[in-house]
Structure 1
Amino acid sequence: MSEVYQVTEIYIYPIKSLAGISLNQAKTEEMGFENDRRWMLINSENVHVTQREYPIMSQFYPQISDGKIKIAFESENHEFSMDEFLENPIKSNVWEDKSEVFEVSKTSSKWFSDKLGFECRLVKIIKSGDRKHESSRTNEIYNVSLADGYPYLLIGTQSLDFLNEKLEEKITIKRFRPNIVVSTKNAHEEDDFKTFTIGEVQFKNIKPCGRCIMVNNDPQKGIVKKEPLKTLSKYRDVNNSVLFGTNIVSLNSGIISVGDEVVF
């Protein structure tokens, strides 16, 4: 590839399915970026809670500062220490993957329960290996965080531009919750990336990402619409899976930054 590909945006999502945080620089770990989806909300049956069922979760905005995570929701705020958790482990699942997590605190769980209107707990994954995901594509097992399936999601800028050409109401990349956005020349060429390096880190492409109804949730309003899944399904449906972006893993730890070149 002769074109110059550069990182244009980096995101983490500290608490699964809540709003993300835009970064200029991030540290890669086996499980994903540092502090990316290390926390999640579970219901009374210890099942993970997401925007798929509760679109309003997009309206909870996290910030990280001085070892604490502060959550803003409407006119209220809540914060907790990133090192905080209760001793008793909880057996939970992220889809089909068994996960060991720990409740952060009774106070945090009550705050989220009050705001969402049902009983839930804020939990944290402590260490690599507490949740494993077996890839049907590679038949390998990966240590991942509390993300849906893989540690990282990469999207090319032209994939969004190509989609927006077809939409009456334009959308932003935030609909697709990427970790890494890369400037590209052609739509969906990231599907065919193999092994590549960004900054200090080598990445390996696993497979294109199948998308669900969650991308129809407008993150600015917490309202589910018909697009972009309706339009995407007309030209990105492969074996009943609507593809957008690609799942990748990091092969080493290191720092990547906005502006870094993608080297193939």
Structure 2
Amino acid sequence: MKITLSGLYIYPIKSLGGISLSGSKVHQSGLQHDRQWMLVDAQGTFMSQRSLPHMALLQVSLSEDGLYLTHKLQKGSGLHIPFSADTGRLLEVRIWDDSVDALEVDPAADEWFSDMLHTSCKLVKMSSSHKRWLKKKYQVNQEHVGFADSMPFLIIGQSSLDDLNKRLDTPVPMDRFRPNMVFTGGPAYVEDGWDRFFLGSVPFKITKPCARCVMTTVDQQRGTKNREPLYTLSRYRKLGKKVLFGQNGIALDEGYITCGDAILPV
């Protein structure tokens, strides 16, 4: 059965709205621009929709020279952040168990985000000279990652979501799971059995299943929480204490992928 890339997504600023793409460069650290920026609190700890679900209301789009931010429910609230913007100052930030030096971006951006989220925060971006390395057990070629939770890539089959939605009273869209790559073809959860695959001409390796959390319960258009789909997933996709949906992976080479490319498990 033919398996085809049907969706491609990036989330330039961690935990804010995602962007649908027709094609993207593949880097070792993830798709181009994916989770290269992040909001941190006064202690330098990353912020996310887990505790601030209304972060979903901040939408990111790409311009030729940077990012453009808007609030989904507020008109005239835009902010432009050039790709080149940073103060040159490094700040030690924490994301889960990792500490990394990141660049402070712009005090004006900090003020905008603090106003929009009604809490003090600072925008930082990855520094090219300060890598966030994957745990050695997942490395093949000394891979590193941006501000994603743990892995550079997340892939989910459309059939897997379709199977979940048959179990829900109210279906949920794929954006609840914030994948990078979505494919059509194959049975539900076929990705669970993959080890390596080619997407177009780019080789990837699956590293581990993706453990899901309360972020899946955040409506990405409203910034509100419910108990689904995590409650239903926990009834049939639980292994130990983890609820699994989708597969994390790394790219074994760089390249360019586009929607419509064939996926070939090997």
The TM-score bracket by the shorter chain reads: over 0.9
User: In structure 1, which of residues 12, 26, 30 is the aligned counterpart of residue 24 of structure 2?
Assistant: 26
My pick for the range that moved more, 181-190 or 238-247, is 181-190
Q: Structure 1 CA distance, aligned partners of 2:23 and 2:79?
A: 25
My pick for the range that moved more, 94-103 or 13-22, is 94-103
Letter of the 2:203 partner, please give it: Q
Q: Deviations over 1:55-101 (max 9, x none)?
A: 00101111111212110112211111011111111111110012110
Q: What is the match of residue 118 of structure 2?
A: 117
Shift of 1:126: 2.0
Q: What is the match of residue 53 of structure 1?
A: 51
Aligned CA distance change for structure 1 residues 128 and 263 (closer, same or farther; 3 Å): farther
Is the partner of 1:169 in helix, strand or coil? coil
User: TM-score by structure 2 length?
Assistant: 0.95
Q: Deviations over 1:172-213 (max 9, x none)?
A: 100000000011321111011111111231000111100000
Aligned length: 262
Shift of 1:135: 5.7
Q: Structure 2 CA distance, aligned partners of 1:140 and 1:168?
A: 44
Q: Structure 2 CA distance, aligned partners of 1:127 and 1:138?
A: 19
Q: What is the match of residue 201 of structure 1?
A: 202
Contact 2:233 2:243 in 1 (8 A): yes
User: In structure 2, which of residues 61, 64, 72 is the aligned counterpart of residue 63 of structure 1?
Assistant: 61
Is the partner of 1:143 in helix, strand or coil? coil
Contact 2:2 2:186 in 1 (8 A): no
Alignment of 1:15-164 (within 5 A): 15-73=13-71, 74-75=74-75, 76-127=77-128, 129-134=130-135, 142-164=143-165
Q: Structure 2 CA distance, aligned partners of 1:140 and 1:23?
A: 27
Contact 1:128 1:144 in 2 (8 A): no
Letter of the 1:107 partner, please give it: A
Aligned CA distance change for structure 1 residues 136 and 235 (closer, same or farther; 3 Å): farther
Q: Structure 2 CA distance, aligned partners of 1:159 and 1:263?
A: 18
Q: What is the match of residue 14 of structure 1?
A: 12
Shift of 1:117: 1.1
Shift of 1:130: 2.1
Contact 1:67 1:82 in 2 (8 A): yes
Shift of 1:141: 5.9
Q: What is the match of residue 217 of structure 2?
A: 216
Letter of the 2:43 partner, please give it: E
Letter of the 1:193 partner, please give it: W
Q: What is the match of residue 245 of structure 2?
A: 244
My pick for the range that moved more, 16-25 or 193-202, is 193-202
My pick for the range that moved more, 184-193 or 145-154, is 184-193
User: TM-score by structure 1 length?
Assistant: 0.96
Contact 1:191 1:207 in 2 (8 A): no
Contact 2:140 2:252 in 1 (8 A): no
Contact 2:101 2:130 in 1 (8 A): no
Contact 1:6 1:259 in 2 (8 A): yes
Over the aligned positions, Cα root-mean-square deviation in angstroms equals 1.5
Name structure 1 gaps, 5 residues minimum. Answer: none
Contact 1:99 1:132 in 2 (8 A): no
Shift of 1:139: 9.7
Letter of the 1:54 partner, please give it: L
Contact 1:155 1:180 in 2 (8 A): yes
Letter of the 2:88 partner, please give it: E
Aligned CA distance change for structure 1 residues 138 and 79 (closer, same or farther; 3 Å): closer
